[in-house]
Amino acid sequence: MVVQKKFYDPDAFQKLANMKLIARAIVEGFISGLHRSPYHGSSVEFAEYRKYVPGDDLKHFDWKVYAKSERHYIKQYQEETNLRAYILLDSSKSMDFKSDSAKLTKFEYSCYLASALTFLMTRQKDSVGLVTFSDEVRDFVPPKSGPVHFQNILTVLENTAAEGETVIAKNFHSLAETVKKRGLIIVISDLLEDPGEILRALHHFRHKRHEVLIFHVFDPAELTFPFNQLATFRDMETGEQLQVFPRAYQKEYLDKLEEFIQTYRRECTENLMEYVVVDTTAPYDLFLAAYLSKRALLG
């Protein structure tokens, strides 16, 4: 039983209970996310019999079948395997932004998203780890599965605050060298750093043959720039302020935003990475259910 935690919503999670997050790539020789190895070996789960042929390892010979029928059969097994996933959660100060039309900050929304993904993957017996970062890696929880591990990740999420400056590329390059076994890298961030640098860091994960999934998190005000009156904008990380008439810059801002998003979408598509824009006004459970359904249909 899961102890009540801030980012554990049993009603929302129940809506996701029958969903699956299936990796699309073969990871470390296994069909990841399906919990079955395509390779036979000595393992825990019996798969099928086949007729013995000279040269087969006799340790798999079924003597009970031979005693009953004098037939020569070998036991074959399928090794159980887990998808190994890492959730890379941006916990920099920019993630603490919330406009009047949003119920949650970008960071709170991202924590619920990370919690729901952990719930799904541990439920399907996959291993999931959590990395929180801002100007440096703050928490590194190695991938495991099971309810105790899920509670441990909930505790880390609850005790993490959005603070510090955004340093993505440097941290990702370091993590790409640290994470040795291939798996699924899930990025949850507003990606407020030079896109070229971030994309090079994401390519580093691909070079290491990880599958990469990016959730690009936006507050609705960042997507629509609904400001009309004279306003003072403050950088949440540096404190720098700028007073402007927003309406004069709305079109330029929205054009730059579209270019920003399309750069990620194009580069991720070309390099076989999945890129998803997330609007924090969408209930996270409905967003995740819709995304997983679409992912399953596309294969």
Residue with tokens 């890696």: 137
How much is the mean pLDDT over the chain? 86
36-81 residue pLDDT tens:
444 444 344 454 566 776 666 677 778 887 788 888 877 754 444 5
189-231 residue pLDDT tens:
999 999 999 999 999 999 999 999 999 999 999 999 999 889 8
pLDDT for residue 50: 67
Q: How many domains does the chain have?
A: 2
**pLDDT above 70 (res 19):** yes
133-160 residue pLDDT tens:
999 999 999 999 989 999 999 999 999 9
pLDDT for residue 181: 87
For range 9-37, the mean pLDDT = 64
Residue 33 is assigned to a structural domain of this protein: no
Q: How far apart are CA 269 and CA 107, in angstroms?
A: 26
Domain shared by 61 and 199, yes or no: no
Distance of CA 273 to CAs 113, 119, 138, 216, 243, Å?
A: 19, 23, 25, 13, 38
Residue 1 is assigned to a structural domain of this protein: no
Task: Decide the pairing of beta strands 184-189 and 211-218.
Answer: parallel
Residue 238 exposed, middle or buried by CB count within 10 Å (0-12, 13-18, 19+): exposed
Residue 47 is assigned to a structural domain of this protein: yes
What is this structure's pTM? Answer: 0.81
Of the two residues 168 and 11, the one the predictor is more confident about is 168
**pLDDT above 50 (res 29):** no
Residue 34 is assigned to a structural domain of this protein: no
Residue 285 is assigned to a structural domain of this protein: yes
Domain shared by 221 and 125, yes or no: yes
> Domain holding 107: CATH number?
3.40.50.410
Of the two residues 25 and 91, the one the predictor is more confident about is 91
pLDDT for residue 214: 98
Distance of CA 73 to CAs 69, 78, 190, 250, 299, Å?
A: 10, 16, 57, 73, 37
Task: Decide the pairing of beta strands 241-244 and 274-279.
Answer: unpaired
Q: How far apart are CA 222 and CA 220, in angstroms?
A: 5
Domain holding 144, by residue range, is: 10-27+83-298
Residue 104 is assigned to a structural domain of this protein: yes
pLDDT over 90 for what percent of the chain? 62
Q: How far apart are CA 71 and CA 34, in angstroms?
A: 33
Residue 4 is assigned to a structural domain of this protein: no
